[in-house]
Amino acid sequence: MTSPNLPQTQPRYFEILRALQKGGMSLWLNRKSLMPMTLVPVIVTFLTLMIMRTLTGDENADISYFVMAMVQIPADFVVGIFCALVVFIIMSAPKKDDKDKPVMFTLNILERKDLILAGAIAHVVISYLSGGFYGGLLLIFEPMQQAAAETQQVSGASMFLLGTLMAVFFYAIRFLMLPILVVAQMDIKGFYRAHMGYGLSLPVFLVKAATAMVVGFFIMFPAAAVMGTEGDATPIQMALVDFAVAFGNVIAVAWAYAALAIGLRQMTDKGQS
């Protein structure tokens, strides 16, 4: 136990497993109040997936990543509103001495509509930029993959460019914290100046990867396995899979934001989160 006479220093980064556990438990314990609020983002995401499936059909296979990202903006916005609500409540909850106690959702979630809207807009911007960056990586990687499959030599310039973009992408993943910083009304420039190295990117990446993999394993993969091959699936089966993917996506994003919000509290509340 830390002596009260000794100064308590703020952790430079947060504990990943603790943030994931507390974020997940906070969502689970408040599922009765949160589940109804997931209805709109799940439906909008579901409709977006169906539209994108139509746009990326055989006859429209040359659809650009830019158009696909534009189609996804409404879904990102409603998901961003839901996640901003979660972040607002977590960041506004009183400090607790028990670090393992989940955050309870007891605040008036509509008392600061401006912060919630700003957080949602920040989420849309980050999602659009990350989607575009990912599309750029695919544009470079796919020709390299094809050349390797045809036993052709991959140019060194392409490999260097791909490696550079991946390094930049890993560094930029820290900006997934931006909507949380906006909702928390923190000094954004000061926060990122204090974390200019790659150190912050690692826990943010691990939280995002862990939430996506866990939700995918328990929700998305079973749905895809039931559907079988896409060519043999009926429209109803494909719609069910799209709905499962939409629901899983909303849960994964909300869990990631909840974990990152709790992680930010670990970094700023001197261990009392």
- Count of structural domains, the chain: 1
8 assigned to some structural domain = no
Which residue is it, tokens 């009765």? 32
For the stretch 169-224, pLDDT in tens is 889 999 999 999 999 999 999 999 988 888 899 999 999 999 999 998 888 777 76
215 assigned to some structural domain = yes
Contacts 24+ apart (CB under 8 A), 51-57: 53/238, 53/242
213 assigned to some structural domain = yes
For the stretch 24-58, pLDDT in tens is 998 988 888 888 889 999 999 999 988 888 777 65
**What's residue 5's pLDDT?**
43
178 assigned to some structural domain = yes
Question: pTM value?
Answer: 0.84
4 assigned to some structural domain = no
Q: How far is the C-alpha of 51 from the C-alpha of 72, rounded, in Å?
A: 9
Per the prediction, the chain carries an average pLDDT of 81
166 assigned to some structural domain = yes
CB 49 within 8 A of CB 73: no
For the stretch 122-168, pLDDT in tens is 999 998 888 777 777 777 777 776 766 666 666 677 777 778 888 88
Q: How far is the C-alpha of 82 from the C-alpha of 41, rounded, in Å?
A: 7
Range of the domain at 60: 19-95+110-268
209 assigned to some structural domain = yes
1 assigned to some structural domain = no
**What's residue 83's pLDDT?**
94
> What is the DSSP annotation of 140-174?
HHHHHHHHHHTTPPPPHHHHHHHHHHHHHHHHHGG
Q: Residue 235: CA atoms inside 13 Å, Cβ hemisphere, count?
A: 2
Q: How far is the C-alpha of 109 from the C-alpha of 84, rounded, in Å?
A: 10
